[in-house]
Amino acid sequence: MSNKILQKKALIPGQTSLLVIDAPQIAKKAKPGNFVILRIHDKGERVPLTIADTDPEAGTITIVYLVVGKSSALLETLKEGDTILDVCGPLGKPTHIEKCGTVICVGGGTGIAAMHHIAKGHHRAGNHVVAIVGARSKDLLLFCDELGGFCPELLIATDDGSTGHKGFVTEVLRDRLEKDKNVTEVVAIGPVPMMEAVAKVTKPFGVRTVVSLNSIMVDGVGMCGACRCNVGGETRFACVDGPEFDGHKVDFNELRMRLAQYKNQENESMDLFRS
């Protein structure tokens, strides 16, 4: 288990990077929807990251991260050839994928990377995959070439209109759902407000909607309770029961509150790291 970084690419310089990691055991078993937890050093925080792609033959996994706090800033200091102390996975339940017709995959921000793996899984299962991706502007879009390579429809929304529809992914989604009553499923991965808005749009259409929750995680195997969330009035653990859940049943308010719980400590830790 080397966990060596074989490739590092700045997708959005200083903000979002991609790593291809040598992890043959994980690459062999991982399925779309799975995630890994990595630690950069022995006192380091455990960082959950959804797998963006795998190459079982080459024995590699691809992860994409946003430099948002101390641990991701530390990860960003690593270079090609460096080794990550430990990479644990594949964790979580894989996405339920079967041949079911038309599936719309919606991705926002770094969520597009994780969505890409799921979209690929649906494509391989023989589904007609419509990818809808959104970002503030053209330069902040990820994985468009990859998605365009296998999705018969790639629809783009940008806040500033620099490419695609000027506005939100939800507007594109509503329009697409109105045109086609045969969509079987919608998958949404991205910022919480985006996933919540997607679930609101799909509800009146009665389309099954899956969201992937980016809960705070510690152990990743169902023991610590850090990732608990409320789905349909029941407490579920994102790491073992998810991370994907029925978007129409998730309590997004509670998720938002739990994600903001350690903001002060996260900011303090980042300030210390920078100083």
Can you give the binding site for ligand FES, defined by CB under 6 A?
217-220, 222-227, 237, 239
Instruction: Tally the C-alpha atoms within 13 A of residue 184's C-alpha that lie toward its C-beta.
Output: 12
The DSSP string of 81-150 is T-B-SEEEEEESPPP-----SEEEEEEETTHHHHHHHHHHHHHHTT-EEEEEEEESSGGG--SHHHHHHH
Q: Which is nearer to ligand FES, 36 or 140 (CB)?
A: 36
Q: Which is nearer to ligand FES, 78 or 216 (CB)?
A: 216
Strand, coil or helix: what is 251? coil
Smallest separation (angstroms) from ligand FES to the CB of 227: 3
Q: How do strand 183-189 and strand 102-108 relate by DSSP bridges?
A: parallel
Q: Which is nearer to ligand FES, 122 or 228 (CB)?
A: 228
Of the candidates 269, 256, 271, the residue with the CA atom closest to the CA atom of residue 213: 256
Q: Which is nearer to ligand FES, 223 or 260 (CB)?
A: 223
Of the candidates 171, 176, 179, the residue with the CA atom closest to the CA atom of residue 200: 171
Smallest separation (angstroms) from ligand FES to the CB of 213: 11
Cα-trace Rg, the chain: 18
Q: Which is nearer to ligand FES, 114 or 183 (CB)?
A: 114
3-state helix, strand, coil in the chain (%, to 5): 30, 35, 35
User: Which tokens hold the place of 255?
Assistant: 């998720």
Q: Which is nearer to ligand FES, 125 or 240 (CB)?
A: 240
Smallest separation (angstroms) from ligand FES to the CB of 212: 14
Q: Which is nearer to ligand FES, 148 or 225 (CB)?
A: 225
Smallest separation (angstroms) from ligand FES to the CB of 216: 8
Strand, coil or helix: what is 264? helix
Smallest separation (angstroms) from ligand FES to the CB of 235: 11
Q: Which is nearer to ligand FES, 235 or 265 (CB)?
A: 235
Distance between CA atoms of residues 244 and 254, nearest Å: 16
Smallest separation (angstroms) from ligand FES to the CB of 237: 4
Neighbours of 144 (CB within 10 A): 19
Q: Are 40 and 78 in contact (CB under 8 A)?
A: yes
Smallest separation (angstroms) from ligand FES to the CB of 255: 14
Smallest separation (angstroms) from ligand FES to the CB of 92: 9
Q: Are 244 and 33 in contact (CB under 8 A)?
A: yes
